[in-house]
Amino acid sequence: MTIKETIDQIVSEFGYFDDWMDKYNYLIEMGKSLPMIEEKYKVDSNLITGCQSRVWLHADLEDGRIFFTADSDAVITKGIVNLLIRVFSGHTPQEIVEAHTDFLDSIGLKEHLSPTRSNGLLSMMKQMKLYALAYKTKLESDAS
Amino acid sequence: MFSDTFPLKINTIVPLNIDTVRSDFPILSSEIHGKPLIYFDNAATTQKPQQVIDAISDYYLHHNSNVHRGVHKLSRQATISFEETRKKLAAFLNAAHDHEIIFTRGTTEAINLVAYTFGESTIREGDEVIVSSLEHHSNLVPWQQLCIRKNAHLRVIPIFDNGELDMEAYTAMLNERTRLVAVNHISNSLGTINPVKEITRMAHEHGAAVIIDGAQALSHGPVDVQDIDCDFYAFSAHKMYGPMGIGGLYGKESRLENMPPFHYGGEMIETVSFEKTVFNKLPYKFEAGTPNVADAIGFGAAVDYISRLGWEFIREQESKLLNYGTQQLSAIEGLKIIGTAPHKASIVSFLPANIHFYDAGMVIDQYSIAVRTGNHCTQPLMARLGIQGTIRASFSFYNTTAEIDKLVEAVLKVKELFA
């Protein structure tokens, strides 16, 4: 599935929710299946700043594709991270760097995107793109 | 509950009804997520009564003019109204002189003013500055950075687990190298009311000056700076029903006279030549540039509003809300109140067992309840308590016990969702 297809799927899933309770329950469920970060990567240098809750994010490159693992001390945050992981994990650095990320607007999580002290969603997304950019650069220099 | 630092002054004229008082605040009748707003974030900023909003718009509609320089009537009027607020604040705080009140952008700027003038000219290598574990970053970072610049020592008064200052440790900390003690009157995170009069007396015995961060205090009870005898007292209008962007510093005349200016520019000068400048007298020496006239006038209206309600009404309401809120929240199984000092203002920080404050805050928000979650700009305090943050409900006289019931309902929902 392409990044675009996953995003469309998430947007359509969110379309079924009538109220915030459904949405939060969905995120809580999503949090439970989060690909957990290995304990050794749960270190301060992998902490994403700007979140009210602590979020650790790690990226591995396998066969030219990036796989993310993460954890958070807050349940809803886990769900949100997993949503992003579902979108980006398993794609090439190039695909992740070029992906459009405005889909969060249409699923009613827009307020989580505001770049304030309390909201780290933007920071998470930025961090994922930074990992992709770093791997993209690495792959290009390895190839040359 | 305010002990000796808040002597009760009663000046209520008419018995007040909570519905009438609430109707003074237009925002309180608005809706969030389709439900009536419940505003429990008063320690971050209080809402503004119509009287304050009117004073500001009336100024811009009818009186806008720069102060202190014009001979024209508008300017004279603006100057009178602006200076009127200074007089009101001096009376509100029981300062000895009107010129002991300096307008600033708020508490943070007031503290920085003292750090960059009194601090820079007084603190020397090896000197000691004392702060408390309860400080907001704005009454910690300016002193920490001053100490770094001066190679001085920052010392921290520890707290007990209930959020009370360890006064014995404070006593032991004072010595002949202590130059300044900087503490808050009321902790923004836990609500602890600190014994500022005693803290000041002890600091003075060792020849140290005292600055009190009063940001949280002035909305909850009377403050008498002469009785406390502090050297400086910093405050913000927006936490006492006034506008944002204005606040002030009270400073003892003798201290202010001996301090160099903070900012240079217009207004703070007497005469200027290319070679030298004679600075203006107090309070103008510390008020460079065109001041925030409209908000100063709004600030005056806020002081009038508080005075009209009277401390008796405010304290009765807020102590009822604090007791009820503490009781109802404590009754929730597994919920822990963070900060249980015997003397507290109407601020209740809490954490439900094994639930992150962010998760809780997200759900509480859906009940259209505004609470604050996080470290409340007191990261070292949270570290001391071994937590990342809290959920903080801070009550004002315009809140009701029915609103607290809604909060309890929301917290029970949080438990159901995340347990």
Segment A56-83 shows an average pLDDT of 93
pLDDT of residue B145: 98
Q: Do B417 and A28 touch (CB under 8 A)?
A: yes
B316-330 residues labelled b (16+ CB within 10 A) or e (exposed) = ebbbbbbebbbebbe
Give the C-alpha separation, A111 to B342, whole Å. Answer: 39
Positions of chain B with pLDDT under 50: 1-12
How many Å lie between the alpha carbon of B393 and the closest alpha carbon of chain A? 17
* Contacts B356 to A, Cβ<8 Å: 53, 73-75, 77
Do A76 and B361 lie within an 8 Å CB cutoff? no
Show residues of chain A in contact with B363, CB under 8 Å. 24
* Residue B145 token pair: 């950075």
CATH number of the CATH domain containing A43: 3.90.1010.10
Give the range of the structural domain holding residue A89, as residue numbers without chain letter. 3-137
Of A24, A25, A73, the CB nearest to B356: A73
Asked, for residue A116, whether it belongs to a domain, the answer is yes
Q: Which residues of A are catalytic?
A: 51
Closest residue in chain A to residue B390, using alpha carbons only: A52
Distance CA B60, CA A25 (A): 49
A23 touches chain B (CB under 8 A): no
Report the distance separating Cα B109 and Cα B148, nearest Å.
19
On whether any CB of chain B is under 8 Å from the CB of A89, the answer is no
Q: What is the pLDDT of residue B314?
A: 97
**Cross-chain Cβ contact A75/B359 below 8 Å:** yes
Confidence at residue A20, expressed as pLDDT on a 0 to 100 scale: 83
pLDDT at A124: 86
Chain A contact for B137 (CB, 8 A cutoff) = no
Query: What pLDDT shows up at residue A49?
Result: 75
CB atoms A74 and B366 under 8 Å: no
Whether B374 and A54 lie within 8 Å, measured CB to CB: no
CB atoms within 10 A of CB B37: 16
In chain A, the number of structural domains is 1
pLDDT digits 0-9 by tens, A37-56: 999 999 999 998 766 788 99
DSSP code per residue over B301-359: HHHHHHHHH-HHHHHHHHHHHHHHHHHHHHTSTT-EEE---SSB-SEEEEE-TT--HHH
pLDDT given at position B1: 40
Shortest CA gap B366–chain A (Å): 7
Could you count the other beta carbons within 10 Å of the beta carbon of residue B362? Answer: 23
Q: Considering chain A, what percentage of its residues have pLDDT values greater than 90?
A: 49
From the list B237, B197, B190, B212, the residue with the least C-alpha distance to B346 is B190
Instruction: Identify the active-site residue in B32, B332, B377, B408.
Output: B377
Query: Which residue is closest to A120 within chain B, CA to CA?
Result: B358
pLDDT score for B8? 46
- The predicted pLDDT at position B138 comes to 98
How far, in Å, CA of B352 to CA of B415, rounded? Answer: 7
* Nearest in space to B159 (alpha carbons), one of B402, B380, B403: B380
Q: Strands, DSSP E only, in chain A?
A: 55-62, 65-72
Domain contains A143: no
All structural domains of chain B, each given as residue ranges with its CATH number in brackets, are 3-48+310-418 (3.90.1150.10), 53-307 (3.40.640.10)
**How far, in Å, CA of B351 to CA of B372, rounded?**
12
Return the ∠ at Cα A69 (arms to A67 and A74), rounded to 5°: 150
Check residue B15 and give its pLDDT: 64
Confidence of residue A12 (pLDDT cuts 50, 70, 90): confident
Per-residue pLDDT, B4 = 45
Q: Is B361 on the interface with A (CB under 8 A)?
A: yes
Q: pLDDT, tens digit, for every residue of A90-125?
A: 999 999 999 887 776 677 666 654 445 445 677 888
Token pair 């919920």: residue: B335
Q: Note whether B210 and B114 are within 8 A (CB).
A: no
A144 lies in a domain?
no
- Check A77 against B358: CB less than 8 A apart: yes
A99 min Cα distance to partner chain B (Å): 28
In a domain? residue A142: no
CB atoms within 10 A of CB B238: 23
Alpha helices by DSSP H, listed for B14-49, are 18-23
CB pairs < 8 Å spanning A and B: 38
What pLDDT score was predicted for residue A14? 84
Nearest chain B residue to A19 by CA distance is: B366
Say if CB A87 and CB A7 are below 8 A apart.
yes
The whole-angstrom distance between B296's CA and the closest CA on chain A is 29
In a domain, A18, yes or no: yes
Query: How large is the greatest C-alpha to C-alpha distance in chain B, in angstroms?
Result: 72
Q: What is the ipTM of this complex?
A: 0.86
Of how many residues is chain B composed? 419
Who among B33, B358, B366 is closest to A74 (CB)? Answer: B358
Q: Has residue A72 been placed in a domain?
A: yes
pLDDT in tens, B131-148: 999 999 999 999 999 999
Q: Which residues of chain A lie closer than 8 angstroms to B418, CB-CB?
A: 28, 75
Q: Render the burial of B44-73: b for 16+ CB within 10 Å, e for the rest.
A: bbbbbbebbbebbeebeeebebebbeeeee
Tokens standing for B303? 């002081």
